[in-house]
Chains A and B, each alone.
Chain A
C-alpha cells in the first residue's frame, strides 16, 4: 500500500522548518497573481527563495495557480510555468486545466496536477486527465474521504485529496464591497446564514472576486483505517487560519495518521 505524501500550504519561506517538523513531506504555495482572496501568493523570486530554503530539508515544493484562466492570463501563466520548470519545482497544481495545456504546448517538463475544486468526481475522469498528460489529480473537495478513496483506488493516475480549509463558493463578484462594507485584506470576515446561527463561514474578496470557505476544516474521520487510504498526496489548505492554528491542525492530522 502506498503512503500518501503530506503537502502543507506555506505562505512564507520562514514557515518551512516548522512544517517540516510537523511532518510535512512537501509544501504548496500560491503563485502570485494567481492566489485567492485568503492567500495572495508569492512572487516568482519568493518562490525561488522558498525552494532554495527547502532544498536542505528535502521538502518537495509545489506551486498552485488558482482561478479560472481567461485569455489575458495565458502569457503570464506561460512565463510563470517556464520559471517553475527551470527552478525546478516538484509540480504545479492548477484549478483550471488550461495551465496543464499551456505547459504541454510549451513542451515544459514540470508535472502538472489538476485540482479543479468540485469538478473531478470519478475515476474515469481522472484516467482521462492522465491520458491528457497531467501528472495527477485531486478528487472533488465535496466527495467524502471514502468516495474520494474509491476514486483513487480505481484510477491509474496518481490522485490526492484536500484537507483543511476548503473553498465552498467562488464568485467573480465582490460580495463584501457590493454590500457596502469596505473590504480590507487584513480584516477577518465571516458569513452567517440566518437559519444556522452557530455556523460561521470565512469570506474574503480581492480583485479576482469572492471566496467563501467551509466553516469547519476537512479532516480524516478517526474511524477510517489509515493504511486503506490509497491517495498519493494529502494537500492541507490553510484558508483563513493563522499560521499557528494551521500548524496545530496540520500536526494533529499528521500525528493521528502515523
Chain B
C-alpha cells in the first residue's frame, strides 16, 4: 500500500519540533523574506539549522518554502536564500517560479517541490515541471479526489495534497485583493486576508442584494474521512496548512492525522468522530472537505465572521519533570490555578486528567494562580508528565457549527 508522508507546518522552531514529535514525517517552514509567510512566520537561518538537526536526528525531513513570486530586484535574495538552505541541509525547497526551479536545479542538489501557487492541475503541466527537475508537485486545492487519482496514474512525479487547514477562497496565487486594497502583496508573503473582510453584493444601482454583508472566505479544510481515498489515490504527501497557528493546533491536528493514516495503513477503520472532536479542541474556525468531493457550494464558505471560540483552552507545555519532587516544569500559555482539574495530551495521542495540587515559581515561591504567558512554573502532580506533553482545560463546549 502507498505510505504517504504526513507533512505539517513549522511556523516557528518550537512549532516544528512539536509537529515532528506529534507524528509528522516532515515539516515545512517559510524562509525569511521569500515565502508566503514572509513577515509573520518566517525562519531565521539559525532556527532552520536547529530544526534540520532535530528532524534528521528523528530520521524525518524539513522543507523550506521559497514560494513568493520575486520581482527582478528580489531575485538575488531568493537565490541567496536557496543556496543557504542547501548549505544547511534542508531536504527540499518549495518553489512557485519555474525560472527559479531551473536555477535551483542548475545550482544546487536540492530536491524541488512545486508550490500550489503555481497551479499545476493536469498531467501535461505536472510532467513538464518534473522534466524541469521538480520531484514533487503540490496540487491546487480545487481538485477532487477522483481528479487527483487520475492525475497520479498519469505521472511519475510525487503529488502532495492539502488535507487540513486554511484555504484561499481564490485559486492560489491568483488573488490580488490584498495587494490592491491594502498594498500588501499576497504573492510576496504579505496577505492581509482581505477575503475575510465584509462585503456587500449589490445590483448596478448599489442596492444590496443580500440581507447582510458577507465574507469571501472559505471554511478551513478538514479531510479525516477522505484519508483512505487519498492514500488509495497514490498521493505521496498529505499536507497540513497552518504556519500561523498555535503549538496546540500543530500538535493536535498532526497527531490526529497521524492516527488516521496509521489506521488506514494497518487496515483499521479511522475513528473519525473521536479525531474530529479532538481537532475541534484546537481549531478556531469551522471546517469542510473543500473541493475534494466536488463543488463545496455555500457550505464551504464562512459568509459571516466565525464566532470566536474559547482561545484559552491551551494552558501550557511541559518542558521537564522532576521525578524526585514530582514536579512538572510548565511553560505557561493560559491561566492555571491550584485546584484546577486539567488535561494532559501526549504525542502518542493519549489523554488523561490531573488535578493541580500545588504551583510555585522558579524561585520556589508558592502560587495560587499562574497567569503570565511564557512563565516557567513548577506544577505538582501525582501523575508523571513528560517533556512535550501539552496541558489544556478539561471542558466541553457546544460547537455552534
B171 close to A171 (CB less than 8 A): yes
How many Å from the CB of A217 to the closest CB on chain B?
13
A70 close to B202 (CB less than 8 A): no
Chain A: number of interface residues, binned into ranges = 35 or more
How many Å from the CB of B161 to the closest CB on chain A?
15
B202 close to A189 (CB less than 8 A): yes
Contact with B along A189-213 (1 / 0, CB 8 A): 1111111100010010000010010
A214 at the interface (CB under 8 A from B): yes
The stretch that binds B, out of A6-14, A24-32, A56-64, A180-188, is A180-188
Given A178-B301, A194-B200, A196-B181, is A71 in contact with B98 using a C-beta cutoff of 8 Å?
no
Number of A-B contacts defined by CB within 8 Å: 181
Q: How far is the CA of A97 from the CA of B129 in the complex (A)?
A: 11
A68 close to B203 (CB less than 8 A): no
> Which one of A105, A122, A212 lies within 8 Å of B177 (CB-CB)?
A212
Chain A, residue nearest B143 (CB):
A70
Among A69, A98, A174, chain B packs the most CB atoms within 10 A around the CB of A98
A22 at the interface (CB under 8 A from B): no
B187 at the interface (CB under 8 A from A): yes
Chain B: number of interface residues, binned into ranges = 35 or more
Chain B, residue nearest A189 (CB):
B201
Across the interface, which residues of B come within 8 angstroms of A195, CB to CB? Answer: 197
A193 close to B203 (CB less than 8 A): no
A43 at the interface (CB under 8 A from B): no
B170 close to A169 (CB less than 8 A): yes
A71 close to B170 (CB less than 8 A): no
Chain A, residue nearest B188 (CB):
A121
Contact with A along B178-203 (1 / 0, CB 8 A): 01110001010000001001111111
Q: How far is the CA of A115 from the CA of B298 in the complex (A)?
A: 31
The stretch that binds A, out of B209-217, B248-256, B328-336, B340-348, is B209-217
> Which one of A142, A175, A178, A190 lies within 8 Å of B204 (CB-CB)?
A190
Q: How far is the CA of A212 from the CA of B170 in the complex (A)?
A: 10
The stretch that binds A, out of B19-27, B31-39, B66-74, is B66-74
B9 at the interface (CB under 8 A from A): no
Q: How far is the CA of A98 from the CA of B122 in the complex (A)?
A: 8
Chain A, residue nearest B167 (CB):
A173
A102 at the interface (CB under 8 A from B): yes
B180 close to A179 (CB less than 8 A): no
A124 at the interface (CB under 8 A from B): yes
Q: How far is the CA of A172 from the CA of B198 in the complex (A)?
A: 20
How many Å from the CB of B26 to the closest CB on chain A?
26
B291 at the interface (CB under 8 A from A): yes
How many Å from the CB of A130 to the closest CB on chain B?
11
- Provide the main secondary structure of the chain A interface: mixed
Chain B, residue nearest A98 (CB):
B125
Across the interface, which residues of A come within 8 angstroms of B102, CB to CB? Answer: 128
Across the interface, which residues of B come within 8 angstroms of A140, CB to CB? Answer: 69
A123 at the interface (CB under 8 A from B): yes
A122 close to B75 (CB less than 8 A): yes
Across the interface, which residues of A come within 8 angstroms of B70, CB to CB? Answer: 121-122
A124 close to B75 (CB less than 8 A): yes
Across the interface, which residues of A come within 8 angstroms of B298, CB to CB? Answer: 177-180
B280 at the interface (CB under 8 A from A): no
Q: With A71-B123, A192-B200 given, name 11 new contacts (CB 8 A).
A: A69-B124, A71-B121, A71-B147, A119-B174, A169-B175, A170-B171, A172-B291, A179-B298, A194-B198, A194-B213, A212-B177
Q: Which 3 A-B pairs have the closest CB atoms?
A: A128-B99, A178-B298, A188-B204
Residues of A within 8 A of B (CB): 68-71, 73-74, 96-98, 101-102, 105, 117-119, 121-125, 127-129, 140-143, 147, 150-151, 154, 167-181, 187-196, 200, 203, 209, 212, 214
30 CB-based A-B contacts, threshold 8 Å: A68-B119, A68-B121, A70-B122, A70-B147, A74-B123, A96-B125, A98-B128, A102-B124, A117-B176, A118-B175, A119-B118, A121-B70, A122-B72, A124-B72, A125-B98, A127-B99, A151-B72, A171-B170, A173-B169, A173-B296, A176-B201, A177-B298, A178-B300, A179-B214, A179-B303, A188-B203, A191-B199, A192-B199, A193-B198, A200-B206
